Structure 1
Amino acid sequence: MRTLVVGAGATGGYFGGRLAQAGKDVTFLVRPARAATLARRGLRIHSPAGESRVAARTVTADTIDGPYDLIVIAVKSYGLAAAIADLEPAVGPGTLIVPLLNGVQHVTALVDAFGTEHVYGGVCRIVGTLTDEGDVVQLTGMHDLVYGPLPGGATDRLPAVTEALSGAGFDSRPSDDIVQELWDKWVFLAAMGVVTTLMRGTVGDVTAVPGGITFALGVAEEALAVAAAAGHRPAEATAAQVRRSVTALGVPATTSMYRDLRAGAPVEADAIIADLVRHADEHGIPVPLCNAARVNLAVYEASRTA
């Protein structure tokens, strides 16, 4: 399949780069400055397995040359509206879109823009970042990709999508319940995000102080309760993993939202935390800890852009 990867940051650069490295037909939709960097340095990926350099083919919004079979969106949630406008010329009658964004509100935005028949759900799990030079750094060995049709979506094209997104050295699989998988990841990210951003520390920092474990467990239970009320209760093993992750002792685990916060950059507070609070309000679930983080991050964003 002719594949367009929207974004060549830590996520899009990693998965798209690995696909291109495996010989898949991949083009990156990027801004002119990123295109210039990739033309000069190539797409460099640093991982626990070593370093590689990929000759990345790129287009910008004004040079898209027609529809693609598959579009993988790998931008931050606050960049989605601009990405939708940029990629519109790449969407044809047979195009499928797999977004790798956090939370669930992006699914509604994409369905509204392009229709359920064009949109799959997608979940990626990777811990990565970009260097000052624009290189992709995979910080751990985790690199999972999951995708599948939404309810009422195009199931007949799943084998072709699976072929396009497989065989590139990372874990890749289709899902027959991608909405639940989206919620499972969202609950995890929201709980970790609230713990680390509200307390301004790693999980280990929080659990090392009096009351830290109780606080972290309270956050996890709020997030899990919202998912259950919305009809997407995680399996017990998944719920247990969320609780273990936020209460781990001596673990310097953080989130991309925490790292962005420390860097003074924009954060995905709306998609990961504020939207969870909105769902809680809709279902009458009290979430005082998540709401405190929502307010805290709203104040941060207001001060950052003042």
Structure 2
Amino acid sequence: MRSIAPRLSLIAVTLTFACKSPESGETMTAATTDESTSVANTTINLTDATTDLTTSTTTGPGTTGPTTTEDGTATGTGTQGTSTTAGLTCVPIECEGALLACGDCMDNDGDGKTDLADPECISPCDDREDTFATGLPGDNMDPCNQDCFFDGNSGAGDDKCNWSLKCDPANPGGDICPYDPNFNNCPDMQSQECLDNCQVPNGCDCFGCCTVEVDGMTYDIFLGDPDCTLADIDSCQQCTKNDDCDQECHPEDCEICFGETEPPEGCDDPTCEGFDSCTIDMMGNSNCAEGYYCSTGCCFPIQPG
């Protein structure tokens, strides 16, 4: 039973269901209450003996609601900032005191993957689940000059990474910042501060050029493309890795590559160099310590936008 009425605005909603058992003729009544608008009781007479109750309700900040499993049994009630599915409870992760789309315990893009279980979530400081772009105001918005893509802000002042899209023959800057073979600011090496400070996931360089595998094909995609998604990978802007700050992925060594959330086949646990290793469940929870998040099998410290 997905819906019995048009969409309601949030104000105390009371719904009453009267279901008649086809075997006994006895009428059974169940009521659910949510804080929203009061509406008239609704009665539904079911003539079919089977009812699909495979609905799972996810509730985000400021909402409450029940969760049902595939057999129709309630597993718990969502509370502010948490959701429960199949016995798993999501724990929200804040970014500088705010809950953004990739840390709010909601499947914002409806793909069945919540927060960091969604490959298109870069970190909790990412406000878009539907694309690889972060959606943060001012983040990586310069049409040419790039700094560390993964620190949640723009400007090379805090990470000392510096690159121009004019240097990339794959032309990820498009018409706004086209490739210029004569451009004279394309350094072969990044500063040691850049290499030390930029937390780069396996399979990416520090400027957001990442290798993903889809249907057996590999693509080097530019995460600054605001419309780039796994579902439409062919439309993503291509890019060329910066060799000096490319964090190559080695799945043969049990590393989780960018765009993946599970260890490679045959690996019980992921390998992570320089950080604690981690895994993510279907609700986006990981075994990382507080103040850290899990990305490509590594516990990275949360860097605010």
Instruction: State the TM-score, normalized to the length of structure 2.
Output: 0.26
Greater fraction helix: 1
Q: Which is greater in Rg?
A: 2
